Structure 1
Amino acid sequence: MEDETGDVLRRSLRIVEALLFASAQPLRAADMAPYLGEGTDVNGLLLVLQAQYEGRGINLVRRGEGWAFRTAEDLGFLLRREEHETRPLSRAALETLSIIAYHQPATRAEIEEVRGVATGKGTLDLLMEAGWVRMRGRRRTAGRPVTYGTTEAFLDHFGLEALSDLPGLDELKGSGLLSGRLPAYLQIPLPFDGGLRDDEDPLDPSDLGDPEPEDGEI
C-alpha cells in the first residue's frame, strides 16, 4: 500500500511538473487540478516540487496565485541579452506603472495627480498590451472613471511573489521610477489587488473596446 501511495505521489508530481514546463504563463492550482485525481492536494504538490528544485538552475516560484519555473536569480545574467533586446518603457510609462502598482485601484485622474502631468491614453494602452496592467472596474464617483490595477504577468516579469514584495518609497525614488513630484501625503506600498472594493462597480460591456476615449499628453 505504501509503494502504491508513493507511485501516485511521483506520478502526480510528474504531471504538475509537465504542466508547468508546457505553459508559457504561470498556472494556478485550480488550472492543474483537472489533470489530477479528485481531492488531490495540488498546493501540497507544488510545495514539494518547489523544494525539489531549490538550488537548481531553475526554480519553481510563486507569482500571485500562479506558479512557474523561472531561471534562478543568481543566474539572471544569462538573460541580459534578452533584456537588451526588449524595448524599454518610456519614463512616462514607468512612472504610470509604478503609481498603479502602489496605488491600485487607481483612476487616470489619480495617476495624473501623483505625476503632476496629464497621462496620455496611449501610455495606459501600452501597459495593458504588455499584460502588466488591467482595467479593474469603475469608481463609484461622478463620471464613473475606470480603475486600473496590475496583473500576475506584472508580478512574473518583475520577479515578485506578491505586491507586498514591492520596494519601499526611498528605493523606488532612488531607482528613478518616480520623480520628486510626489505629494507629501504619499505613503507606499498601499496596493490592493483583491476583488472589487466597495467603491468600485463592475466594468461595462463597452469597456472591452475603448474605456476612455479622451486624449491627453504623455
Structure 2
Amino acid sequence: MTLDPIFTERCIEALLFAAAEPLSVQDLAKRLPDGADIKQGVADLRLTWAGRGIELVEVAGRWRFQTAADLAFLMTEEREEPRRLSKAAQETLAIVAYHQPVTRAEIEAVRGVQASRGTLDVLLELGLIRMRGRRRTPGRPVTFGTTDAFLEHYGLANLGDLPGVAEMKAAGLLDLNLPPGFSVPDPLAMRDDENEDPLDEGETPEFAQDFLGELEGGDKA
C-alpha cells in the first residue's frame, strides 16, 4: 500500500528537524512505514522549503536543514571562527581531493617538498582525509582519500561537485600558487584503485607513527 505523499513528507520533515546529523534515504527508510516513497517525499519537502530562511540541502549523500546561504550573515556573531588550515595543509588537502587515492610520496611529488607528518596528522585528526588502503607496489605505501566530513565541511553533495582551481581560490579553499605538476582530473571519473588493497582487519596504527615514519625537518613550505 502506498503511503499518503503529504504524510510521508511530514514524517521526513519531522525526522530531519530532530536529527543531530544529516540523514540518508536509507536512514529515513528505517523509520518510515512501508509504502513510503522517500525519494519523492524528500523532493517534495525540498520544494516546500525552497527560498525560505531554512532550506533542505544534500551533503555527502545525506539530507539536512540549514540556514539559507544568503542569510548566513545573520549567524556571524553566534558562530566561532573556524580553524584555518595552514598553506601546507590546504595544498595537501587539495591534492588528496583531486588525486585520490594518493600516497604520501605522490603528494610530495606534486607539491615538490617533503610532506611533514604533522600536516597529514592534522587533516586526519580533523576527519577531512582518511587512510584508504595500501598500494600494490614495493613497500605497500598507504593511500589517502577524502571523507564524508570533507564533503560536509565544504557543502558538497559528492566529489563530482568539486570546483575548478579558479573557483577553489575564489572560495578560499586553495590559497596557493599551484606547482607545475598539479592538474585537475575529472572528479566524476574517480573510482576505486584496482592496485589498492584495503587495510588489514584490526590494523589501527597511529597517524604518522606506523605509516608516515619519523620525518626530520618537517614541511619546507
Shorter-chain TM band = 0.7 to 0.9
Match of 1:96 in 2: 92
Q: Give the root-mean-square deviation of aligned CA atoms.
A: 2.6
Runs (4+) of structure 1 exceeding 6 A deviation are 192-195
- 2:197 maps to which of 176, 194, 201: 201
Give, in angstroms, the shift of residue 176 of structure 1.
7.3
- Distance change (3 Å), C-alpha of 1:41 and 1:200: farther
SS in 2 for 1:85: coil
Other-structure match for 1:118: 114
1:153 aligned to 149, 152, 176, which one? 149
Partner of 1:17: 13
TM-score of the aligned structures, taking structure 1 as reference length: 0.84
Q: Partner letter of residue 139 of structure 1?
A: R
1:137 is paired with a residue whose SS is: strand
Q: What letter matches 2:101 in structure 1?
A: P
| CA distance 1:88–1:45, shift in 2 (3 Å) | same
Which structure 1 segments of 5+ residues have no match?
none
Of residues 71, 78, 83 in structure 2, which corresponds to 1:87?
83
One-letter amino acid matched to 2:110: V
Q: Offset at 1:50?
A: 0.8
Aligned residue identity for 1:215: E
**Can you list the C-alpha shifts for 1:81-130, whole angstroms capped at 9, x where unaligned?**
46652222111111111111111111111111111112222222222222
Cα distance in 2, alignment partners of residues 29 and 46 from structure 1: 8
Provide closer, same or farther for how the CA distance between residues 209 and 50 of structure 1 changes in structure 2, counting only shifts above 3 A. Answer: same
**Corresponding position of 1:77:** 73
Q: Which amino acid aligns with 1:24?
A: A
Structure-2 separation of matches of 1:82 and 1:198: 46
State which of 157, 176, 181 in structure 2 corresponds to 1:179: 176
Amino acid at match of 1:89: L
Distance 1:15 1:200, change over 3 A: same
Aligned mates of 1:79, 1:208 — CA distance in 2:
39
In the alignment, the residues of structure 2 paired with residue 203 and residue 193 of structure 1 have an alpha-carbon distance, to the nearest angstrom, of: 23
Determine the C-alpha separation between the residues in 2 that align with 1:199 and 1:178. 32
Change (3 A) 1:109 1:22: farther
Displacement of 1:213 after TM fit? 4.6
What is the Cα deviation at residue 55 of structure 1?
Answer: 0.3
Are the equivalent residues in 1 in contact too, given 2:5–2:37 (CA < 8 A)?
A: no
Residue deviations 1:155-189 (CA, integer Å, cap 9, x gap):
121122222222212343565725335235x3314
Q: SS where residue 52 of structure 1 aligns? A: helix
Letter in 2 for 1:117: V
Identity %: 48
Question: What TM-score do the two structures reach when normalised by structure 2?
Answer: 0.83
Q: Which residue of 2 aligns with 1:64?
A: 60
Q: Residues of 2 paired with 1:81 and 1:96: CA distance?
A: 31
Q: CA deviation at 1:29?
A: 0.7
Cα separation, 1, equivalents of 2:134 and 2:159: 22
**Runs of 5+ consecutive residues of structure 2 not aligned to the other structure:** none
> Do the aligned partners of 2:134 and 2:197 also contact (CA within 8 Å) in 1?
yes
Q: Distance in 2 between matches of 1:147 and 1:115?
A: 16
Counterpart AA for 1:205: E
Equivalence for 2:214: 215
- Given that 1:100 and 1:150 are in contact with CA atoms closer than 8 Å, whether structure 2 keeps it comes out as yes
